[in-house]
Amino acid sequence: TKAHVDAIERAGALNCFITKTPELALQSARDSDARIAKGEARPLEGLPLGIKDLYCTKGVRTTAASRILDDFTPPYESTVSANLWRDGALMLGKLNLDEFAMGSSNETSAFGPVISPWRRKDASGGFDTARIVPGGSSGGSSAAVAAHLCLGATATDTGGSIRQPAAFTGTVGVKPTYGRCSRWGIVAFASSLDQAGPITRTVRDAAIMLRSMAGHDPKDTTSVDAPVPDYEASIGASVKGKRIGIPKEYRLDGLSPEIAALWDQGVAWLKDAGAEIVEISLPHTRTALPAYYIIAPAEASSNLARYDGVRYGLREKGRDITDMYEKTRARGFGAEVRRRVMIGTYVLSAGYYDAYYVRAQKIRSLIKRDFDIAFAAGVDAVLTPATPSPAFAIGEKGSADPVEMYLNDVFTVTVNMAGLPGLALPAGLSGNGLPLALQLIGRPFDEETLFSLASAIE
């Protein structure tokens, strides 16, 4: 813990943490030492973790990387973080993210961007000076794990925000099945899509961490009352005879040759491990991104209505209450959050609701049905690239056209739309020396198959 606390101090330039809690961490470490000495160690005893600053932590400031929650200190603990503390883990601090988890590069944080510890090679083979994004929205989590500032980190994934930052930083990210982890006490973005999960350096670490995070919670009625398997037992388990679906619709026009080669390599590795490869069709894939960018903003506009200057954080002075609401929300929310609230309010408004929101929900059912058909035909898991490109430099994408940024999520949002488990793991390096990753998608509540397949690749 002391080594991690010191490393965090030295790595301030990466801007991974919004709030550091070194005293709390060192005190918890002493408590863990005492337990270990007494032979009473719990499963995660003394393991120092980072917590995405979207998880409410009792008595520790929780900002969602937004000015509107700048001075919010929750009087309660999220269920998932409480589960980690129950098992003996300890917290090093609260990790930076895109504001309210809206983004794919961690550039929308009110606390400034996170810098990836990775450097890009230039044409001459040296390293260029560009500062690389760690992905988003869980960019503090991915960069901190990649930079060895914590052993693992919590993250959340609404449309790729665990898997894409893991892909960009050479770490492992798991989005469990919707309902596997409790959402209670995690600041809500799009409630029907949000899921908690871990980012770690190895597949085994992710399995260990997820086991503690997961489980039924009566405080979240969408969390499922099913036993949590010992995921670690799946590491190294045989994948002989597993049927792996390769969806032809993911071969996008213009898929870069290095991503296509990575995907082929993944197929070859799984074949070598004894898996059977089958081509499948997920015909509604191309509709997933546009439908996601209707549903997620719609739910966000509803969830973010609570930040009105009355109940939480920031309050600006106004002539009357309406003026106070307007000023608080205009100053408290950044540009991307305001854009989402406006889109969401529009698609939910009378007259447009059927044309946009209801249609997007229908598309969502079709996306889910595509996967159901593949699984019913005997496919155990689906293999795809995790992202269409390696990480890019800060400021390079999305400033003129937000859709350019949204396209990062093209391979990951389908999984949230269908409520399925997804795992991203490092599988190679791009020509410019940055990590590239594969994604495995599983049947509902079958994270175990993903862990065994991922450990065969790793």
Binding site residues, ligand GLN, CB under 6 A:
101-104, 137, 157-161, 189, 296, 409
- The active-site residue out of 142, 161, 182, 223 is 161
Q: Residue 208 or residue 425: which is nearer to ligand GLN going by CB?
A: 425
Q: Which two tokens stand for residue 265?
A: 């390599």
To the query of whether residue 52 is one of the catalytic residues in this protein, the response is yes
Instruction: Work out how close the CB of 200 gets to ligand GLN at its nearest, in angstroms, rounded to a whole number.
Output: 18
Q: Residue 181 or residue 280: which is nearer to ligand GLN going by CB?
A: 181
Instruction: Work out how close the CB of 456 gets to ligand GLN at its nearest, in angstroms, rounded to a whole number.
Output: 27
- The active-site residue out of 52, 94, 242, 397 is 52
**CB-based burial label for 291 (10 Å; 0-12, 13-18, 19+):** buried
Closest CA to 46 of 19, 85, 6: 85
Instruction: Work out how close the CB of 2 gets to ligand GLN at its nearest, in angstroms, rounded to a whole number.
Output: 33
To the query of whether residue 28 is one of the catalytic residues in this protein, the response is no
Helix, strand, coil shares of the chain, percent, nearest 5, are 40, 15, 45
- The active-site residue out of 104, 116, 137, 138 is 137
To the query of whether residue 137 is one of the catalytic residues in this protein, the response is yes
Instruction: Work out how close the CB of 136 gets to ligand GLN at its nearest, in angstroms, rounded to a whole number.
Output: 6
Q: Residue 380 or residue 409: which is nearer to ligand GLN going by CB?
A: 409
Q: Residue 184 or residue 375: which is nearer to ligand GLN going by CB?
A: 184
Rounded Cα distance, 240 and 273, in Å: 6
Rounded Cα distance, 380 and 375, in Å: 6
Q: Are strands 422-429 and 381-385 parallel, antiparallel or unpaired?
A: unpaired
H/E segment holding residue 278? strand 276-280
H/E segment holding residue 360? helix 359-376
Question: How far is Cα of residue 192 from the mean position of the Cα atoms in its chain?
Answer: 15
The conformation of residue 458, written as its DSSP 8-state character, comes to -
Q: Residue 21 or residue 141: which is nearer to ligand GLN going by CB?
A: 141
Instruction: Work out how close the CB of 417 gets to ligand GLN at its nearest, in angstroms, rounded to a whole number.
Output: 12
Q: Which residue is nearest to ligand GLN (CB)?
A: 161
Any idea which residues carry the catalytic annotation? 52, 137, 161
